[in-house]
Structures are given as structure tokens and as C-alpha cells.
Amino acid sequence: MEAAPFASSSSAPFLPSYPVTARSLTSSSSLLFRRSNFGRSYCNYYAAKFKSPRNLSIRASGDSVVTLLDYGAGNVRSVRNAIRYLGFDIKDVQTPEDILKADRLIFPGVGAFAAAMDVLNKRGMAEALCTYIEKDRPFLGICLGLQLLFESSEENGPVNGLGLIPGVVGRFDSSNGYRVPHIGWNALQIKTDSEILDDIGNRHVYFVHSYRAMPSDANKEWVSSTCNYGVDFIASVRRGNVHAVQFHPEKSGDVGLSILRRFLYPKSTITTKPNEGKASKLAKRVIACLDVRTNDKGDLVVTKGDQYDVREHTKENEVRNLGKPVELAGQYYKDGADEVTFLNITGFRDFPLGDLPMLQVLRYTSENVFVPLTVGGGIRDFTDANGRHYTSLEVASEYFRSGADKISIGSDAVYAAEEYLRTGVKTGKSSLEQISRVYGNQAVVVSIDPRRVYLKNPNDVEFKAVRLTKSGPNGEEYAWYQCTVNGGREGRPIGAYELAKAVEELGAGEILLNCIDCDGQGKGFDIDLIKLISDAVSIPVIASSGAGATDHFSEVFMKTSASAALAAGIFHRKEVPLRSVKEHLSKEGIEVRI
């Protein structure tokens, strides 16, 4: 799965069901495109069935208009925002004709391969796409929009694709120590002059996917760049005016915007001198986190706790106010944050869909912040005062529609894991399972809020205990990490280790690992905990809580296999600029995106 599919029809500009007419594919119209011979892939099927149209008129729709094929899934808002940011208007595809009439078409494929093909087929879009591409019309496919061009995918399959490029899309192998999904900023190896990649230089771009297409003799004429993640897989393809990329330009900061700009202004003479970066592999990520809640005056503020206590210790006892969410997020983007995370920390009691300011924050932020955004807090089923029932999937969908790339589940994931460990049965009904099934596991983070419980003897509990690097207050040499819910207010009978393994099985794509003891203390991450969890799972782990100095970041990456490190207080209080963290890591030989 590559991201979010068709969660809610209301989100889509969408595609009415369309009767396929006898017209279409100009199989011989372009020598650029030789179809592969794979089975009954869509293009082959229709090419055999229908004659090419003689009078298909292509109406110019204006120089500053981009046609967008959005089938109503995941976060296409980011692509829209990036296009608008670059000065273009968007025309949404409503019918297959809209594809054929496009001057330039962007297809940010999201969701599962089979589901996407199903929608394209049912709505007559697959045929139109093949025609459009075979005519060498300007096309940019993103992520699943690249994979669908291939013959087939193993994702819940095999499932036939459009069959324009020879090859089968398969899953990354996690048995060789590489974490799947492949999430983060990685380097490209440019193979041919692809024009749209001209400004990349040696810099990272953002990937998030579990499936990939492999380069081969049969598709080598298409491959414009590869990326290494255990294996060399296809990062981009290009033939004539047709481009597709596995990574997300709309989430790749300035580099990504320059890729989109080059696609949108192909004849432009603008050249951005490539900033010679040092990208060579998957970078460790540095994430800025904004804990957000409404203060006593009713304003939505960024706050920050000490061991989860966010109130000032003054007579007024007010909620600590460290700034405005949209402004701070924009600042961290400029400072080089690899991702921004918003945690709606009172989401457990205030229903997020009633908390419209949070959705507004996401909408505004995503207009100017072109790195991934995660949002958490309150993702669960809910019945409001009028008896209206909302599923967790609806809550998540609203977050995705508002600009989130990933959602983070806290309390509800604890209950789901407890239930799963008690029964051994995956019901498929938990928020975690439902959202990852629909949106892909790479879009679902589980946020864990554990607290250390010291032990004299590791056998005193049924949960996994660790031998501590620093002994406890009474000389205890061991601890287990008890999970909590409701913002640390309630301890649960499950350890962080057991929870992490269970949620990985239930479909989590990433773990955000906090530690209540370290939160806001500035004394460093809990290395014992992070090592325990990152060694236990094969999905990426984000280390969180306790960063107080640049050394703490290098320590966590050198001593554990965390994929990312998240911090809040030091950035909000401007004690350590984000850039200094990156520069320090780079000096220490840890690859980061600069």
C-alpha cells in the first residue's frame, strides 16, 4: 500500500461512473511507447478491442491549469497546495474526457494498487490514461501513480496494472534488516537526463512506501533514476513527456518543489544551481513536535509538558503557551525539520471533529509546509451529544483531508493491543486495523506513552523488563515500561515491548516512542527503552522525549536503530536550533538531510 485510498466519497472531486465508449487507444500513435506483453493488462486489452479515434480533439485548457486525477484518497491536498504554490490552477478530472483534454496531467496515486486499478477501470479512467500517455502528453505520476504504469503488482495480488512499463511491483524484503515501510529521505542515483530531476544535485527526496518496482533489461529505457534500500529499486521513470516518481515531490521540501516546477514549466530557462548535497542513503530524520491544546482562554496553543504536566506552576496554574501552531510549524519547516508532528493532547476527551481549529491548523500549515505532517489525538470511535456516531476511520479521513500524511493513534491502540493479546484474534475492527487497511500501514503511527516501573528482579512481572544503564532511585537494576492512556493519566496492564510487537502485527507502519519520565527533562532520550523497542520491531521507530542538546541526537542514533528523533521543548524555547542538530549529526558522520 502506498497511502490512502477511497475512504470517503465525499472527499473526492469525484468521478461519476462513466460508460466506456468505443474509441480510444492509439496503439501505434507513438513509437515512444511499446506496451509490454503482460497478460490482460488494461492497455493491451483495450488496444485490441477498440480502434483508434480519428477525431479526438484535445482542447487547450489554458497555460496555467494542471489537470489532477484525484480519486478521493489520502492526502492529495499536499499536491494541490504545491501546484497552487507554484502558480497553477487545478482542474479536477471528473470524466475520462477530462484526462484526454488535459494539457498536463498529474496523477498522485494513493492507496492500494488493486483498489486504485478497480476505480480506474470502473470509471473508464484506465483506458483514457493509456491513451493520454501513449500520445506522449505531459504526465507526472507520483508514488502509486508510478506503480500503476507497470504490468502488475503483488500487493494483495497479483493484480494487473496499466501495462505500459514491463515489470512487476513487489514488496520490500524486511528480512535483510531494512525496515518496511521505507519511510524517509533517501538519495537518488540519476541514470539518464530526466529534465525534471535536474535541480536535485546530491540531495534527498521523501519516500513512503512498502512496494517497489525493480529495474531490469526490459524496462531500462524507462528508468531515469534508482534508489537503494537494501536493493536498487526504480525511483523514477521518464519517456518523452511522461514522467513518474516513486517518491513524493510535494513532500520533499524545496527539492521537491523544483521537480514539480520543472514539470510544470518544461520550457522554462530557470535553472536552480544544484546545491551539492551529500545524499547517499536513507537519512536519519529530525522531527519537530507540537503538542497542541486549547488553553483556558479558548485559544489553540502549542504547549509543552514536564513529564506530561503542561500547566505552569504558578498561582494561575495556566496551560503553558509556547506559541501558535501554524507559525511554529512554518518556522520549523524553514529550519529544516524533516517532518512536523501535531499532537492534539486533549483529543482523548475533546472530540477532534468538534475541535475544528485543529483541522484548520492542518489546512493552513499544509499550504506552506512541504514536508510530511503527522497528526494525533482523539482517533477513536465517538458518539456525540446528538447520538451521531463517528467511526475512527471518519476521524482519520478528516485529518487526511485536512492535510495530514500520517495519523497517530495513542490510547485506542493500547486497547486494541490488549484485546489482541488477550484473544489472539485480529478482529479487523480496531481503529488501527481499519485505518491501516484503508490508508496503508505507512500512514498509521502508533504513539506510545510509557512510564518506567523499577524492579529489583526482572521476573517480578510478566512484561519484558530491561537491565538499566543507570539504576533506579532505590538501586533497582531493572525496569519495565508500563503503557498509559489518556495523556499518561492511566496506567494499563501492558508493557511498551508487548504493545509495540502487537501493534506492528495489527498494521502500524511506524512507532512514535515517548517516555513520560524523560519528557521535557532535557537530559537525553531513554536509550534503554528505545533500544528495546527498535530491536523488537521491523517498522521504523521515532525516538521521542528528553532531547536537551545536540549530543542527545547523535547518542540515540549511535546507540539504537531508531529511524528518527523527535523533540519539542528545545525547539520551542529556542535553546537548540534545528539546524544545529542537523549540522552536529552530519559532523558525527550520521547522514541527515541538509
HSE at residue 18, side-chain half, CA atoms within 13 A, is 23
Residue 114 main-chain phi, psi, to 5 deg: -65, -45
Answer yes or no whether residue 553 interacts with ligand 1PR by CB under 6 A: no
177 marked ligand binding residue:
no
Smallest separation (angstroms) from ligand 1PR to the CB of 429: 17
143 labelled catalytic? yes
Q: How open is the CA angle 535-540-544, to the nearest 5 degrees?
A: 85
Answer yes or no whether residue 576 interacts with ligand 1PR by CB under 6 A: no
Do the beta carbons of residue 273 and residue 552 sit within 8 Å?
A: no
Rounded distance, CA 222 to CA 180, Å?
26
Answer yes or no whether residue 143 interacts with ligand 1PR by CB under 6 A: no
The catalytic position among 248, 552, 572, 584 is 248
Do the beta carbons of residue 316 and residue 571 sit within 8 Å?
A: no
Answer yes or no whether residue 151 interacts with ligand 1PR by CB under 6 A: no
Rounded distance, CA 415 to CA 419, Å?
6
For ligand 1PR, which is the closer residue by CB, 343 or 533? 343
Answer yes or no whether residue 310 interacts with ligand 1PR by CB under 6 A: yes
248 labelled catalytic? yes
291 labelled catalytic? yes
Cell 483514457, residue? 128
Q: What beta strand segments (E) does 76-138 contain? A: 89-92, 105-109
HSE at residue 123, side-chain half, CA atoms within 13 A, is 22
- Of 56-64, 87-95, 329-337, 563-571, the window that binds ligand 1PR (rule: CB under 6 A) is 563-571
Q: What proportions of the chain, in percent to the nearest 5, are helix, strand and coil?
A: 30, 25, 45
Site for ligand 1PR in 315-344 (CB under 6 A): 343
Tell the burial category of 309 from Cβ atoms under 10 Å away from its Cβ (0-12, 13-18, 19+): middle
The single residue among 161, 256, 325, 347 that binds ligand 1PR, judged by CB under 6 A, is 347
For ligand 1PR, which is the closer residue by CB, 495 or 546? 546
Residues recorded for the chain: 594
Answer yes or no whether residue 376 interacts with ligand 1PR by CB under 6 A: yes
For ligand 1PR, which is the closer residue by CB, 397 or 514? 514
For ligand 1PR, which is the closer residue by CB, 265 or 382? 382
Answer yes or no whether residue 447 interacts with ligand 1PR by CB under 6 A: yes
Site for ligand 1PR in 458-487 (CB under 6 A): 487
Q: Can you read off the three cell numbers belonging to residue 292?
A: 497542541
Q: Strand, coil or helix: what is 355?
A: coil
507 marked ligand binding residue:
no
Give how far Cα 194 sits from Cα of 35, 128, 271, 291, Å. 21, 24, 14, 41
The catalytic position among 449, 498, 510, 591 is 449
354 marked ligand binding residue:
no
Per-residue contact track with ligand 1PR, 403 to 422, x per CB under 6 A? Answer: -----xxxxx----------
Smallest separation (angstroms) from ligand 1PR to the CB of 520: 5
Q: What beta strand segments (E) does 230-380 contain? A: 231-239, 242-245, 285-294, 300-303, 339-344, 373-376
The catalytic position among 250, 338, 510, 517 is 250
Smallest separation (angstroms) from ligand 1PR to the CB of 309: 7
Active site residues: 143, 248, 250, 291, 449
Q: Give the residue ranges of the annotated binding site for substrate.
A: 378, 514
Q: Give the residue ranges of the annotated binding site.
A: 143, 378, 514
Give the footprint of ligand 1PR on this chain (CB under 6 A).
289, 291, 304-305, 308, 310, 343, 345, 347-348, 376-379, 408-412, 447, 449, 487-488, 514, 519-520, 544-547, 567-569
Q: Give the residue ranges of the annotated binding site for L-glutamine.
A: 143
